[in-house]
Amino acid sequence: DAGITQSPRYKITETGRQVTLMCHQTWSHSYMFWYRQDLGHGLRLIYYSAAADITDKGEVPDGYVVSRSKTENFPLTLESATRSQTSVYFCASSFTGVTGNTIYFGEGSWLTVV
Amino acid sequence: QQQVKQSPQSLIVQKGGISIINCAYENTAFDYFPWYQQFPGKGPALLIAIRPDVSEKKEGRFTISFNKSAKQFSLHIMDSQPGDSATYFCAASNPGGGADGLTFGKGTHLIIQP
């Protein structure tokens, strides 16, 4: 039972570079999410997807791009990384929506932008 | 506007004691209140959840107390153990909020001293 796999787990990149964080889930969950976790801010939703080819913005979408061509994959791209995007990124999924349903998180991708 | 306020930010409890984490919300449309537990280097995982039609839910040593009129809910960890040391997030979601309807508190870093 692989669950949710994120890659890379750790990444250091330079300001202005493009970075893609990968997320793969094996449960065929309809919903997938990207959160960022920062000290003092908790978990903030970046983007989410209700199904393949359906994506929508969360609380903090600026500077990020997502796509979902297949149900199991939900990559997050930072088109031009900035230092403020240094964070821990969590991919998550749920069978249906968030109300009354468990959201399953991956183990996180630690991104440092220098 | 922070819709879910969590306190305290950090908490130290002696082994065997009771750990209490509090959350307050503003949106009366919220109808699902989960708690997530996160160990260092891992993603958050659902611990316990409650709906507002009950005032208390207990699972093992973990209890959620819910006060609908005060718009508050709390997590109680009885007989706290060193293995409970983690960061705890409360959250709330509303039925009409769609996939982005889950709002997290900022987290409580709990340390159980042996």
Q: What local confidence, expressed as pLDDT, does residue B3 receive? A: 86
Checking if the pLDDT of A89 tops 70, the result is: yes
| Segment 50-89 of chain A within 8 Å of chain B by CB | 50, 56, 58-59
Q: Calculate mean pLDDT across residues A2-13.
A: 94
Instruction: Report which of B104, B83, B68 is spatially closest to residue A44, judged by C-alpha positions.
Output: B104
> What is the rounded average pLDDT for all residues in chain A?
93
Q: Is the pLDDT of residue A98 over 70?
A: no
| Residue-level pLDDT at B27 | 87
**Quick check: B97 and A98 CB within 8 A?**
yes
Is B9 exposed, middle or buried, given 0-12, 13-18 or 19+ CB atoms closer than 10 A? exposed
For residue B109, give both structure tokens. 């870093």
Contact B99 A98 (CB under 8 A): yes
Rounded CA gap, A86 and B45, in Å?
23
Interface of B to A at Cβ within 8 Å reads 6, 31-32, 34, 41-46, 49, 51, 89, 93-95, 97-102, 104-107
Question: Which of A98, A105, A107 to mutate against chain B (most B CBs within 10 Å)?
Answer: A98
Write b or e for each residue in B64-103: b if 16 or more Cβ atoms lie within 10 A of its Cβ, otherwise e: bbbeeeebebbbbbeebeeebbbbbbbbbbbeebbbbbbb
Q: Confidence band (pLDDT; 50, 70, 90) for A73?
A: very high
Q: What is the pLDDT of residue B96?
A: 59
**Are B89 and A92 inside 8 Å of each other by CB?**
no
Identify which has the larger pLDDT, B17 or A39: B17
Residues A28-41 have pLDDT tens digits of 899 999 999 998 88
DSSP string, B34-83: EEEEE-TTS--EEEEEE-TT-SEEEETTEEEEEETTTTEEEEEESS--GG
pLDDT of residue B14: 98
Of B34, B43, B106, which has the smallest distance from its Cβ to A41's Cβ? B106
Q: Among A44-48, A91-95, B16-20, B94-98, which is the least confidently predicted range?
A: B94-98
Share above pLDDT 70 across residues of chain B, in percent, rounded to a whole number? 92
Taking the C-alpha atoms of residue A98 and residue A58, their distance in angstroms, rounded to an integer, is: 13
Once rounded to an integer, what is the mean pLDDT over residues B11-16? 98
Q: What is the pLDDT of residues B36-47, one digit of tens each?
A: 999 999 999 999
**Contact between chains at B43 and A105 (C-beta distance less than 8 A):** yes
Average of per-residue pLDDT across A84-106: 88
Q: Is the pLDDT of residue B99 over 80?
A: no
B41 and A90 in contact by Cβ < 8 A?
no
Query: pLDDT tens-digit profile of B51-79?
Result: 989 999 999 999 999 999 999 999 999 99
**CB atoms A56 and B99 under 8 Å:** yes
Per-residue pLDDT, B2: 58
Phi first, then psi: what are they for B98, rounded to 5°? 65, -160
Q: What is the pLDDT of residue A2?
A: 64
What pLDDT score was predicted for residue B93? 86
pLDDT at B97 over 80: no
Instruction: Provide, as residue numbers in chain B, all residues whose Cβ is less than 8 Å from the Cβ of A56.
Output: 98-100
